[in-house]
Amino acid sequence: MANTNLKAQQVGGKYATQATLVTELVVLCLLATFLLSSTGSITFLDEIFRWISLPVCIVFVLSTLLFSYLLGQKLAVSILMRGRKCYWKCYTSAIGVVLLSIGVASSFALINQVIGHNLPENWIILYVAKPIIWVLPLSIVPILVAGTWYGNELIKQMK
C-alpha cells in the first residue's frame, strides 16, 4: 500500500508539473502572439514585464510549479488510490494553485516595497485585490485546459 501510495504521488506530481509548465508556456506564447499581431512589436511584452516586475513574474511561475507539484501529489493519491472522479477536483486544485501563487507573488512584491520604503497608502488594493481580480479571471481557460489534461493523464494511469 505504501509503495503504491508513493507511486501515485510521484505520478501526480510529475503530471501536474508538466501540465502547469506547458500551460504557462502556451499562455506566454499566445500573449506574445497577440501583442505582436495587435501592436506590430514585441516591445510591449517587455514593457509589461517591467511594469509587473520580472522577479515577481519569476516568483509566480516558480510558485505555480511548486504548488502544482504538491497539490498534484495529494490529488493523485485521492484519484488513483481511491478511484474518485477527478475533473472537478483537478479544476479546484488548479484554482488553489493559482490563488496560492498569487499570494506568494503578491507577498514578494509587497515585501520589496516595504524594504524600499515605497509602500503606498492603498497597498491592500494594489497587492491583494488587484492581483486576484486580474489573474484569476484571466486564468480560468488555462485552468480548465490544464485540469482536463491532468485528469486525462490520471485516468490513463488508472487503466
- Confidence grade of residue 37 (pLDDT, cut at 50, 70, 90): confident
Checking if the pLDDT of 72 tops 70, the result is yes
Q: Quick one: which of 127, 14, 140 has its CA closest to 68?
A: 14
pLDDT score recorded for residue 90: 84
Instruction: Write out the DSSP string of 23-46.
Output: HHHHHHHHHHHHHHHHHS-SHHHH
Give the count of domains, the chain.
Answer: 1
Q: What does pTM read for this prediction?
A: 0.82
- Which SS3 state, helix, strand or coil, does residue 51 take? helix
Checking if the pLDDT of 143 tops 70, the result is yes
At 91-138, the pLDDT tens digits run 888 899 999 999 999 899 888 888 888 888 888 887 888 888 888 888
The residue segments making up the domain with residue 64 are 2-158
